[in-house]
Structure 1
């Protein structure tokens, strides 16, 4: 390679090196802004008062019991639906049951304390246990709450009448038995929305 070419290559290399060094120290204007953002989730808080709705003993066919309780929305979000899941166990004192005691306990959900005869929905505990919670909502809570659901801070009274149905037949198999009822109430939020 000739001297001119070597000198030309040297100059080109020096220029390339200078361009690379100069590129690292290029100055420009800039401005930075920072935003602080928060996503805070609301709360669903359904409460029941009293937590024990019914405790009776020495019942006999034909007896009935009216009990009322409150459902309250103590959360920060409206409750769209309340689902009720029914479960119970039977203590068969004599071990002679041929029928489910729950078939003989009728449950009447009533509108309010002043109108004990105005029934929203009537069923037996056995039927209630077999129902899906969504069906219970459609037949009991939707007629009571309607489209408004259970708004934040609201309290609704529920009145229930339990009847040990006298079917006019021999019900001796239930003497001394007990039915332990568990109701589980589940609150569901309203659908999310664009805000």
Structure 2
């Protein structure tokens, strides 16, 4: 055999050997299994009952109106914090207001119907409107709900007292006026945890 044939046969043998070795690395036993996994998000569902906390007519300086309402956790996740955002609009019947009607409405958040003399926090509607929702939580809801917040399926009673403050001065500018109050409650979840 000449050198070319020997060289060609050698190369062909080497390629065949490499092919067999390479092909052999793919020959193995195997098995596979598929798992079915689920991520289901929980829900935050804060309820307030009743949804109209106060509606009163013909108030005068010195009048006190007490109302109670429930904070309800109707979701599947615990609520850590409840925030309250206050907004209101004054309808000036005579166009003669030089002061904000909200400065003359005192608000007292009370613990519950059994302890009406225990005030959690006292302010005016005007001051409450300027407070951040986080500050309201720290001053009103945290003292009421504490570290536990509002667990799933729990209900907490809250009593609020409004007073048209009689400041001993002429308050005629408020005759016939109305104040439309909007409270927006926001619930926040507890911190994430290892599951």
* TM-score category (smaller protein): over 0.9
Unaligned runs of at least 5 residues, structure 2: none
What is residue 187 of structure 1 aligned with on the other side? 187
What is residue 85 of structure 2 aligned with on the other side? 85
Any idea what the Cα deviations from partners look like across 1:67-105, whole Å, max 9, x if unmatched?
A: 011110011111001000100111111111111110000
How far did residue 176 of structure 1 move? 1.0
What is residue 55 of structure 2 aligned with on the other side? 55
Any idea what the Cα deviations from partners look like across 1:117-175, whole Å, max 9, x if unmatched?
A: 21111100000000011111111111111111101100011100000000000111111
In the alignment, the residues of structure 2 paired with residue 125 and residue 10 of structure 1 have an alpha-carbon distance, to the nearest angstrom, of 100
How far did residue 33 of structure 1 move? 2.4
How far did residue 7 of structure 1 move? 3.9
Q: Using structure 1 for the length normalisation, give the TM-score.
A: 0.92
Unaligned runs of at least 5 residues, structure 1: none
In the alignment, the residues of structure 2 paired with residue 84 and residue 128 of structure 1 have an alpha-carbon distance, to the nearest angstrom, of 9
How far did residue 29 of structure 1 move? 0.9
Q: Secondary structure at the match of 2:117?
A: strand
Q: Using structure 2 for the length normalisation, give the TM-score.
A: 0.92
What is residue 140 of structure 1 aligned with on the other side? 140
What is residue 150 of structure 1 aligned with on the other side? 150
How far did residue 14 of structure 1 move? 5.5
How far did residue 60 of structure 1 move? 0.7
Aligned pair 1:159/2:159, yes or no? yes
